[in-house]
Amino acid sequence: MYQARGTTAHLALQRLFDHPSQERSPELLFNLFREAWTELRGSEEFDALFEGIEEERQWGVESLELLANYFSIEDPTGFDPVDRELDMLEDLDGITIRGILDRIDRDEDGRLIITDYKTGKAPPERYALPAFFALKIYALLIRRGMGETPKELRLMYLNGPTIYRLDIDDRQLDAMDTQLRALWNAIDRALATRTFPTRPGTLCNWCSFKEICPAWAADQ
Residue 52, pLDDT score: 77
One domain, residues 71 and 88: no
61 in the same domain as 38: yes
Q: Is 218 domain-assigned?
A: no
**Residue 159 belongs to domain with CATH number:** 3.90.320.10
User: Considering the domain boundaries, does residue 38 fall inside one?
Assistant: yes
The reported pLDDT for the residue numbered 218 is: 57
186 within domain boundaries:
no
C-alpha to C-alpha distance for 203 and 208, rounded to whole angstroms: 11
At CA 26, angle to CA 2 and CA 53, rounded to 5?
Answer: 45
Q: How far is CA 168 from CA 20, 81, 133, 134, in A?
A: 31, 19, 12, 13
Identify the segments of the chain with pLDDT beneath 70: 217-220
End of a domain among 25, 59, 76?
76
Let me know if residue 115 belongs to a domain.
yes
Number of domains the chain contains: 2
Are residues 110 and 39 part of one domain? no
Same domain, residue pair 125 and 149: yes
| Residue 159 placed within a domain | yes
Last residue of a domain, one of 45, 76, 107: 76
Which of 76, 108, 132 is the last residue in one of the domains? 76
Instruction: Report pLDDT for 154.
Output: 94
Residue 105's beta-bridge partner residues?
113
How high is the mean pLDDT of the chain? 87
Each residue's pLDDT tens digit, 31-84: 999 999 888 887 777 777 777 788 888 888 999 999 999 999 999 999 999 999
> Looking at the structure, do residues 173 and 100 belong to the same domain, yes or no?
yes
Its pTM stands at 0.80
pLDDT (0 to 100) of residue 198 = 77
Burial 34-46 (b: 16+ CB within 10 A, else e): eebbeebeeeeeb
For residues 94 and 159, membership in a common domain is answered with: yes
The residue range of the domain holding 94 is 81-179
Do 165 and 86 lie in a common domain?
yes
Show the 3-state SS of 29-69: HHHHHHHHHHHHCCCCCCCCCCCCHHHHHHHHHHHHHHHHC
- 91 and 166: one domain? yes
Residues 19 and 59 in one domain: yes
Burial class (CB in 10 A: 0-12, 13-18, 19+), 67: buried
pLDDT of residue 217: 66
In a shared domain, residues 52 and 89: no
Looking at residue 11, what is its pLDDT?
92
Q: Is there a domain that residue 57 lies in? A: yes
Do residues 90 and 170 share a domain? yes
For residue 105, give the 3-state DSSP assignment.
strand
The answer to whether residues 15 and 62 belong to one domain is yes
